[in-house]
């Protein structure tokens, strides 16, 4: 099972930044993800949108967890993750991935 085809790219970016510093460079992440340059990251920019191959392959329960985290971190409810909301989003996504990885790990070997 490979549930996390979408996130590893983003999370690895954070991980790489973390090696240099305790705090990831969210400004740079923001720039890399914000393809329409409106200063905020939409769901589509982050995950490729509803119709994307990655989203179609993602199990519904995992997708729901992503959605819940996204909504929870969108504190001003504009439907977008701003620079201010981004650190919290990644923190929660990391926690989410850890939880799922542990579950998956128990099935292996």
From the list 18-26, 61-69, 82-90, 92-100, the region that binds Ca ion by CB under 5 A is 82-90
Distance, in Å, from the CA atom of 42 to the CA atom of 48, rounded to the nearest integer, reads 9
Q: Which of 61, 76, 102, 108 binds Ca ion (CB under 5 A)?
A: 76
The reply on whether position 36 binds Ca ion by CB under 5 A is yes
CB of residue 33 vs Ca ion: minimum separation in angstroms?
A: 8
- DSSP-assigned beta bridge partners for residue 81: 41
From the list 8-16, 20-28, 34-42, 52-60, the region that binds Ca ion by CB under 5 A is 34-42
The reply on whether position 38 binds Ca ion by CB under 5 A is yes
Q: Where are the alpha helices (DSSP H) in the chain?
A: 7-20, 26-33, 43-47, 53-57, 60-73, 86-107
């Amino acid at each position: 099972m490979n549930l996390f085809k979408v996130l590893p790219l983003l999370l690895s970016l954070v991980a790489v930044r973390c090696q240099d510093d305790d705090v990831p460079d969210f400004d740079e992440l923001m720039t890399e993800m914000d393809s329409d340059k409106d200063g905020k990251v939409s769901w589509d920019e982050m995950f490729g949108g509803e119709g994307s191959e990655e989203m179609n392959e993602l199990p519904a329960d995992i997708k729901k967890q992503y959605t819940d985290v996204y909504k929870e971190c969108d504190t001003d409810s504009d439907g977008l993750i701003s620079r201010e909301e981004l650190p919290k989003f990644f923190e929660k996504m990391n926690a989410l991935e850890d939880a799922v990885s542990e579950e998956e790990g128990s099935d292996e070997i």
